[in-house]
Amino acid sequence: MPMTLPTDRRSALRAERRRAILDAARALATEHGAHGFTVEQVASHAGVSRRTVFNHFAGLDQLLVAVCEQVLDEATAALLDDVDRRTAELPPGEAGARTALDAVGEATRRVDLPTAIATIHVALGSPQRGDERAQGISRTAFEHVGGRLRQQLLRRAPDLDPVDLDLSLALLFSGITTVAGLWVERRPGLAPPVPPTARTEWDALLDRVLHRLRVGHAG
């Protein structure tokens, strides 16, 4: 009679395989770009079968979205922690809702988005700005991060109007992805570590996004 692993052991093994697949895809994408590797190569590098890769991911695009999310998670963990600190004691009502949204904008200044964006840019093969596949992959990853941030803000500030929150986060992440595209376009060959001059330029672009959001709120 075949031995059946306990549920927690199966879950741990599945998570371990998923991490191995993601790490393999990230390494291959960083070295060869989004178009420069196959599922078979990912499986070989991860030490799993091709079928196992497809058990976790529907295809290469979904796998690349997960790679981008992994990169963003490393940066946005700090962002979520910062938002958590800033929203620990909110005033009631609309003032608290406004403070919560302002906290998100301020938190984006404090996390290392430049390294995350440069890493994703390299992993996607340093695509041109009009590359729809690369844009779709990175946009989806940012949307997933925005979804987690939305849940956290609603827990912290239940008085937030869900429509206002969705609009604010959509504008913020749309603005970030837009200026990220402009930023990497101006700096061919950009890759980690991000030089100080590039960081200064990024800070200026991010300030413009946050200013537009504040003006919109004021209006």
- Tens digit of each residue's pLDDT (9 = 90 or more) over 82-101: 888 888 887 777 777 778 88
By CB atoms closer than 10 A (0-12, 13-18, 19+), residue 28 is buried
Task: Provide the pLDDT for residue 214.
Answer: 82
Q: What is the CA radius of gyration of the chain?
A: 19
- 160 or 2: which carries more pLDDT confidence? 160
The pLDDT of residue 78 is above 50: yes
Confidence at residue 203, expressed as pLDDT on a 0 to 100 scale:
97
CA distance 151 to 197: 35
Please compute, for residue 196, the number of CA atoms within 13 A of its CA located in the half-sphere on the CB side: 0
Spatial CB neighbours of 146, under 8 Å, sequence gap ≥ 6: 169, 170, 172, 173
The domain 1-57: what is its CATH number?
1.10.10.60
* pLDDT, average across residues 44-55: 97
H or E stretch at 71: helix 60-86
Which residue ranges make up each domain of the chain? 1-57, 60-218
In this prediction, residue 119 has a pLDDT band, given cuts at 50, 70 and 90, of very high
> What pLDDT, on a 0 to 100 scale, did the predictor assign at position 193?
95
Q: Higher model confidence: residue 171 or residue 3?
A: 171
pLDDT band at 6 (very low <50, low <70, confident <90, very high): low
The confidence score (pLDDT) of residue 138 equals: 87
pLDDT of 4? 57
49 has a pLDDT exceeding 90: yes
Q: CA 116 to CA 95: how far, in whole Å?
A: 32
Q: Which residues contact 124 (CB under 8 A, 6 or more apart)?
A: 29, 33, 34, 64, 68, 131, 134, 137, 138
Omega within 30 of 0 (cis) for the link into 193: yes
Tokens of 105: 């904008």
197 CB neighbour count, 10 Å cutoff = 9
Token pair of 118 as six digits: 């440069």
Q: How high does pLDDT run on average in the chain?
A: 88
* pLDDT exceeds cutoff 90 at 106: no
Where does the pLDDT of residue 219 fall: very low under 50, low under 70, confident under 90, or very high at 90 and above? very low
Dump the DSSP string for 125-140: TS--TT-HHHHHHHHH
Which pLDDT band holds residue 1 (cuts at 50, 70, 90)? very low
* Tens of pLDDT, residues 147-183: 888 888 888 788 788 888 888 888 998 999 899 999 9
Place of tokens 């596949």: 133
